[in-house]
């Protein structure tokens, strides 16, 4: 896939409830904000990168990338952030990475992009061998209308929207240890000890 066909989108628009309301993308991990790891992985594949954030917008803009906020002020979850990215992008495809997966590397994203070359579906979703990692996705911009309709109908669940779209599951079980999510401080501490660089 050509770099010009792809926009990277880092999802950092959550409320961080399980982190005491902290903005997860700005939480430090090994001395760097979590979001910086996702940005590093995406930079290897595209020059077009957006950050979805709904708080601390100035801090995110200071990282040097455009910030897109959810289109609806009533928080509707990560799908709303993906919709914001689709609206702001002029690329054919959107590659999303959650801000709380700092072990995701450019090589892992390469695997996702390579599968796209052999299938004709508008959506590719990562699987770690045990469960879906639905926010690590490659989505066609053509899905914007479908996503808008789903949110307008009251839908919020990522997996439910995925099931309504022709999609391809991408087996990333060989990278399972790198697909860990930092949903709370306990996970952050456990992962730091288990997978310390």
Is it the case that residue 107 has pLDDT exceeding 80?
Answer: yes
Residues forming beta bridges with residue 93, ordered by sequence position: 6, 140
Identify the band that residue 192 occupies on the pLDDT scale cut at 50, 70 and 90: very low
pLDDT tens digits along 2-49: 788 999 999 997 655 555 567 889 999 999 999 999 999 999 999 999
pTM of the model: 0.89
Strands 32-33 and 28-29: antiparallel
How much is the average pLDDT of 109-136? 96
What is the reported pLDDT for 74?
73
CA angle 4, 117, 40 (to 5 degrees): 50
DSSP strand pairing (49-52 vs 6-11):
parallel
Domain locations along the chain: 3-194
CB 1 within 8 A of CB 116: yes
**Segment 164-182 mean pLDDT:** 95
Cα distances (angstroms) measured from residue 180 to each of 17, 40, 69, 113, 196 = 18, 17, 25, 20, 13
CATH of 3-194, one of 3.40.50.261, 3.90.550.10, 3.40.50.720, 3.30.70.60: 3.90.550.10
Residue with the bigger pLDDT between 174 and 16: it is: 174
């Amino acid at each position: 896939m050509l770099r010009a066909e792809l926009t990277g989108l880092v999802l950092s628009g959550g409320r961080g409830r399980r982190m005491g309301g902290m903005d997860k993308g700005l939480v430090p991990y090994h001395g760097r904000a979590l979001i910086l790891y996702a940005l590093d992985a995406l930079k290897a594949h595209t020059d077009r990168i957006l950050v979805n954030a709904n708080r601390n917008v100035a801090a995110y803009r200071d990282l040097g990338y455009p910030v897109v906020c959810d289109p609806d002020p009533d928080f509707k979850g990560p799908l709303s952030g993906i919709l914001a990215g689709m609206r702001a992008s002029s690329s054919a495809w959107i590659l999303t990475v959650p801000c709380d997966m700092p072990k995701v590397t450019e090589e892992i994203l390469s695997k996702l992009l390579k599968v796209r070359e052999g299938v004709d579906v508008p959506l590719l979703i990562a699987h770690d061998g045990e469960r879906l990692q639905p926010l690590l996705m490659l989505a066609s911009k053509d899905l914007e209308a479908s996503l808008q309709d789903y949110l307008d109908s009251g839908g919020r669940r990522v997996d439910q929207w995925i099931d309504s779209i022709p999609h391809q599951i991408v087996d990333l079980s060989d990278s399972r240890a790198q697909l860990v999510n930092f949903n709370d401080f306990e996970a952050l501490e456990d992962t730091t000890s288990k997978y310390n660089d």
